[in-house]
Chain A
Amino acid sequence: MTGLRARLEPSTVALSAIVLGTIVVGILAYALIANIRTDARLANNTRLDLQTMLVQVIDEETGVRGFAATGSPLFLDPYREANRQFPATLAKLNRSATNRNLTSIQDDLEALRSSHALWEADVAAPILRGTSTAGSDRRLKSGKALMDRVREHIGEAQLEVEAVANRLSLEVQQAIIVSILAIVLMTIALGIVAVRFEHARLREEQRLREQVDERNAALERSNQSLREFAYVASHDLQEPLRTIASFTELLQKRYAGRLDADADEFIGFVVDGAKRMQQLIDDVLEYSRVSTHGKPLVPVDLDTVARRAVANLRASIEERGAEVTVGVLPHVMGDEVQLGQLLQNLVGNALKYNRSTRPRVDVTARREGRDWRIAVTDNGIGIAPEFHERIFRIFSRLHTRGEYGGTGIGLAICKRIVDRHGGRVTVDSEEGKGASFAFTLTGTEESP
């Protein structure tokens, strides 16, 4: 796990740095571009305002000239309207001129303001008062000169503002291009790091998978050799044990009563011990054969298997006067020999651990999804719940050999067979209330 972290950390850091960098660059670029665009908009508005002012100035001048020429107050309307709006327009332009890009028009604005004020005072006001018509020609002439200067300054200011506007729109374009380039580069870097990150992750996953496979294989090998060991060891133990058992029996046969009573008793113990050991070894062999000698799982008619198992037990069924019923059993995936052994063990146990005058054993089947649940139920002595797990362990016995014989291998073999079939074996029982052993098996497709 620490290896994984060490491998991934540099990539994670790089990834975070790039993501963060991209975000910062994005925000900065956005702020910059927004800023420039605000300035550009202001410059455009200023151009419009200058245009408005030009119109106002023309209206003023035309009105005054018309009035001077005709004396008709009709001409004064456009003059008054323009004259009224002029200060507001000028104030607005002055405000705009405080922007860092537009300070250069401040001089023009000041110049045109003073020329306009002079025109108002020296030209417009006297003419409007109508004090002198004699001097109006001269006044109009000097007024035109003044207004020409106003228009000149407006024109200059317009040129300057236009230049600013052009420069700003160019700057916006450049900023956008640079930002896009920066973001593209960041994205490429992000992609590269992400790909490397993913590669590292995949390599790590691959390595872990290989490790798991390797360990599983090692475990399987170890299990296999353990199974083989148990088999070979028990098989080879039989040889010397056979010798011990045979010759002590021969001793017993030939010398019984010819040595003293102790000798006869001791020999008896050796013979008995050797026989029990033979039984244990036989059981271990049978137990390990479940996995070493198992056949592949194929469709099996459990009904036939169960009836054969019951037939094999006919002697003890008759001896006990027992009633054994086999319900309708399905076709399942299994090893026929082992399933026979399984059912024979369970039915055999049901008869063996039974003190009823009329022992009864029922073999039934019930569907459980894709699986079948087979139960062997009896009216025997039952098992207290605290022993339900223990009874499936090898050589685990609940009774003395005097009460019930056997080595305690039967249920261990049953469990091993069911395990090998991928099922579960369970017991439901209480002391004195009979027992029900159940196991699950996988059904075949054509199961009834």
Chain B
Amino acid sequence: MTESGGMIQVLLVEDSPSDARLTEEAFRDGKIANVLTVVTDGHEALQYLRHEGKYAGAPRPDLVLLDLNLPKMDGREVLRQIKTDPDLKTIPVVVLTTSEADQDVLKAYEYHANCYIRKPVDLARFLQIISMIEDFWLTVVKLPTDTKA
């Protein structure tokens, strides 16, 4: 869509291998051709987004799925940094987490998360939600065309 290669780029920031794998499974069944990249902590996420170190050649993602409880730098800080960085703040960030604390929900929106989704306990529901995210953010929504790429 927005990328020249036609492949949708999704960055998943998730420290739990099982959750990462489940999300991969869900995206594999997706209708849109996509590339899902997984990073497991906040530092790595920012390095990826800023093309630093080993991520020098990393593509700019069309969507970030962000867990809140992460090692090294937690998701709240990653979110704050993305949304205060002029180069990154237009990338939609979906917070996908097990936390249902009101405080986390409020903080996420204060830091301009594009939406906050609680990971459902049930597998069918989880697959359904990932499919909805894919549908909505990658096909329905019109996002600004990337000028930096």
Contacts and interface: CB of A to CB of B under 8 A. Distances in A.
Q: Pick the most buried of A241, A242, A253, A282: most chain B CB atoms within 10 A of its CB.
A: A242
Interface string A194-219: 00000000000000000000000000
Interface in A238-274: 238-239, 241-243, 245-247, 249-250, 253
B124 A247 contact: no
A243 B19 CA distance: 7
Contact of B126 (A241, A246, A253): A246
Interface string B111-149: 000000001011110100000000000000000000000
Contacts of B22: 246-247, 250
A444 interface: no
Q: Pick the most buried of A243, A246, A249: most chain B CB atoms within 10 A of its CB.
A: A246
Contacts of A249: 123-124
B25 to A, nearest CB: 7
A48 B41 CA distance: 124
Interface in B7-29: 16, 18-19, 22, 25
A320 B130 CA distance: 37
A245 B124 contact: no
B81 interface: no
Interface string B87-110: 000000000001000000000000
A278 B121 CA distance: 8
A245 to B, nearest CB: 7
Contacts of B16: 239, 243
A238 B123 contact: no
Given A238-B98, A239-B98, A245 B121 contact: yes
B124 A242 contact: no
A245 B22 CA distance: 12
Interface in A389-436: none
Contacts of A241: 121
Contact of B18 (A238, A247, A278, A282): A247
Q: Main SS of chain A's interface residues?
A: helix
A243 B98 CA distance: 12
Nearest to A248: B123
A289 to B, nearest CB: 11
Given A238-B98, A239-B98, A243-B18, A250 B121 contact: no
Contacts of A242: 98, 119, 121
Contacts, number: 28
Q: Main SS of chain B's interface residues?
A: helix
Contacts of B19: 243
A250 B123 contact: yes
Nearest to B22: A246
A392 B24 CA distance: 45
Nearest to A242: B121
Contacts of A282: 121
A228 to B, nearest CB: 14
A250 B25 contact: yes
B64 to A, nearest CB: 22
Contacts of A253: 123
Contacts of B123: 245-246, 249-250, 253
Contacts of A250: 22, 25, 123
A241 B16 CA distance: 13
A421 B126 CA distance: 38
A97 B6 CA distance: 148
A231 to B, nearest CB: 12
A246 B98 contact: no
A178 B16 CA distance: 97
B54 to A, nearest CB: 29
Nearest to B18: A243
Given A243-B18, A246-B18, A246-B22, A238 B121 contact: yes
B67 to A, nearest CB: 12
A303 to B, nearest CB: 28
Nearest to A235: B98
Contacts of A243: 16, 18-19
A253 B122 CA distance: 13
A282 B22 CA distance: 22
Interface string B54-76: 00000000000000000000000
A403 B123 CA distance: 27
Q: Pick the most buried of B25, B119, B121, B122: most chain A CB atoms within 10 A of its CB.
A: B121
A118 to B, nearest CB: 131
A241 B119 CA distance: 13
A243 B119 CA distance: 12
Contacts of B18: 243, 246-247
B19 to A, nearest CB: 8
Nearest to A241: B121
A370 to B, nearest CB: 35
A239 B16 CA distance: 10
Contacts of A246: 18, 22, 123, 126
24 contacts: A238-B98, A239-B16, A239-B98, A241-B121, A242-B98, A242-B119, A242-B121, A243-B16, A243-B18, A245-B121, A245-B122, A245-B123, A246-B18, A246-B22, A246-B123, A247-B18, A249-B123, A249-B124, A250-B22, A250-B25, A250-B123, A253-B123, A278-B121, A282-B121
The 3 residue pairs across chains A and B that have the minimum distance between CB atoms: A249-B123, A243-B18, A246-B123
Interface of A: 238-239, 241-243, 245-247, 249-250, 253, 278, 282
Given A239-B98, A247-B22, A249-B124, 4 more contacts: A241-B121, A242-B98, A242-B119, A245-B121
